[in-house]
Structure 1
Amino acid sequence: MKFSHKKKAYIAAMLYALIIGFSFLFSKLTLTLTSPLDTLAHRFTVSFIFASIPVLLGWIKLDINKRDLLRILPLSLFYPTMFFGFQIFGLVYISSSEAGIIQATIPIFTMIFSTIFLKERPSILQKISMLLSVAGVVYIFFMKGINLKSNIFIGIVLILLSALSSAGNNVLARKMTGKYTPICLTYITTAIGFVSFNIMAIIDHALKGTLNAYFKPFTNPLFVGSIVYLGILSSLITSLLVNYALSKIEASKMSVFNNLSTLITMLAGVIFLGETLQYFHILGAVMIILGIIGTNFGDRILFSRKHS
């Protein structure tokens, strides 16, 4: 069976959501053994090493120069540097539930940015569907209960900046995939993430006088397995998947799959952590899925009905 480029893009988007959804479990495991900054540094070290193997062996050729690097640099700053950096430090101040509500706004920011910078024009149905998907995420988190009494202003600002970074990446990557291949963009952004996070982590250890503990987590098999998942699948492969998807479908359509990853995280908690599945989980999940379907296929369904 042959798939069209758009079908492949949607498959890539769903795989992206699936991998990101399960990454939360592995992130929680690594954070019991090392700091958030070290997790990011080791994660992108593994990612960069794995990405460099086919390049060094000559299986993949990167036809880029210094000017190309300067053009891709802003994309790398949006994702992974600012997205993960703001996210990690934001979680110091607020809970993951509170962060989840804020990050559910990524499709809305992406829609606004894509309208301004890419001249994409989502239909009324797409806008309503996108808001329905976002509402599904917010509904689940509110029903689970969140703590708004703590001092969360700094955390809200940082997570909001993380969401804006993701939206900026969706729009800029959509634009740049017309000039560069998804593999090229993925390798360069991974390399810059590797450099930036390791520099930050080493400086942090140097200031604390704990450089000797930098690689200590790798003595734990659980950490090694988790960081391999995060580095190869959740960083490298997802970057490749999102860049490929954005080369074929609109940024606003791709961004709504972020909410699907939230749903997968919830299901992973039920299956692997023994968390209870409540009625509001199911209702919120239906809202998320209907929103994704409406955003990506609603206009096509209405069009086919009108002409049937």
Structure 2
Amino acid sequence: MKQKELRLAYLFAILNAVIIGFSFLFTKIALEYTHPLDTLTYRFAASFFVMSIPVVFGWVKLRYRDKPLYKALLLAGIYPLGFFMFQSFGLQQATSAEGGIMYAFTPVVTMVFASIFLKEATTLLQKLSIFLSVFGVIFIFILTGSSIDLSNLTGLFLLFLTCITFAGYSVLARSLSKHFNPAELSYFMLAIGFAAFGIVSLVHHGLAGTLDLFFSPLVSITFITSILYLGILSSLVTALTANYVLSKIEASKMSVFTNLSTIVSIAAGSLFLSEKVTMYHLIGSLMIITGVIGANHFGQKKTVE
């Protein structure tokens, strides 16, 4: 692999983490205006229509003939359908901080899945680095005096399922990168997300006679801004970047970058919600960054595919 492609993959992995870090904040904002299903419908409508522009004008070429579309459909079922359903309903019952904590376990689950299904080998130092990154998130959570609200157990369980689905997506997308380019996978995933969430949401409102509630959030600039962020950046851009990264580096290496989103969430809370940043945040952030660097630096030269 060319060094330029590898550097671009790491740059995209960092960008992905930054966008996801802010997504918890914008998801919570959007959920103040409408039902999770409606939020997902608008989110994927925005991402699908924006990506359709270069596709329609022929700037992006898509070729699906003679490719394993049933595997791509399975991928879309896991991510975005499963992942965002669990995330949206989970965040409806839990805090964005709890969402960040549950999401922190994604690299560990991905490492296990990648080892089983992709035969990706990780060194001892790489494993320790991944656990250090996860511990950094837990360290921040515990030492800042946060606690798990037992009444949020359903929400916490749903948020943990986002780890499972994202790990499954990382492994399957890594495998499908041999058949599809990042744009093909991303467009297929966004189309399925838009169609599935849109149909379910409209049927739900149609049966309940509440179609007016579906459109009512559109009068809010705050809601529209949140949806544009979630749809264009947190769905479209992250799909493109994640699929590109997974076509260049191992799933276990890519997944550890997700913990950088915790640092971004802390920064977002400080900047926009006036949340206090303590020494514990800084120490935990240093653990996370060290773990991310170590997980990628100490990887084996060759990965068993």
TM-score by length of 1: 0.92
2:4 and 2:50 map into 1 onto residues whose CA distance is: 29
1:295 and 1:247 map into 2 onto residues whose CA distance is: 18
CA contact (8 A) 2:46 2:232 kept: yes
Counterpart in the other structure of 1:237:
237
Q: Alpha carbons of 1:145 and 1:21: their partners in 2 closer, same or farther (altered >3 Å)?
A: same
Code of the residue aligned with 1:28 in structure 2: it is K
Instruction: Look up the SS of the partner of 1:252 in the other structure.
Output: helix
Counterpart in the other structure of 2:225:
225
CA contact (8 A) 1:100 1:141 kept: no
User: Which string of whole-angstrom CA distances, capped at 9 and with x for unpartnered residues, describes residues 219-276 of structure 1?
Assistant: 2222222211111111001000000001000000000111001111111111222111
Counterpart in the other structure of 1:186:
186
Mapping of 1:1-308 within 5 angstroms? 4-65=4-65, 68-298=68-298
5+ long unaligned stretches in structure 2: 301-305
Code of the residue aligned with 1:235 in structure 2: it is S
Instruction: Look up the SS of the partner of 1:169 in the other structure.
Output: helix
1:35 and 1:220 map into 2 onto residues whose CA distance is: 15
CA contact (8 A) 2:28 2:96 kept: no
* Aligned-residue identity in percent: 47
Q: Number of aligned residue pairs: give it.
A: 300
Moved over 4 A (4+): none
CA contact (8 A) 1:101 1:141 kept: yes
Instruction: Look up the SS of the partner of 1:4 in the other structure.
Output: helix
User: Which string of whole-angstrom CA distances, capped at 9 and with x for unpartnered residues, describes residues 46-103 of structure 1?
Assistant: 1111111111112222111386432200111111110110122223333333333222
2:157 and 2:24 map into 1 onto residues whose CA distance is: 21
Q: CA deviation at 1:206?
A: 2.6
Instruction: Look up the SS of the partner of 1:65 in the other structure.
Output: coil
Q: CA deviation at 1:104?
A: 1.1
CA contact (8 A) 1:246 1:254 kept: yes
Code of the residue aligned with 2:294 in structure 1: it is G
5+ long unaligned stretches in structure 1: 301-308
Q: CA deviation at 1:213?
A: 2.2
CA RMSD for the aligned pairs? Answer: 1.9
CA contact (8 A) 2:34 2:214 kept: no
Instruction: Look up the SS of the partner of 1:48 in the other structure.
Output: helix
Instruction: Look up the SS of the partner of 1:33 in the other structure.
Output: coil
Q: CA deviation at 1:299?
A: 5.1
1:148 and 1:242 map into 2 onto residues whose CA distance is: 30
Q: CA deviation at 1:3?
A: 5.6
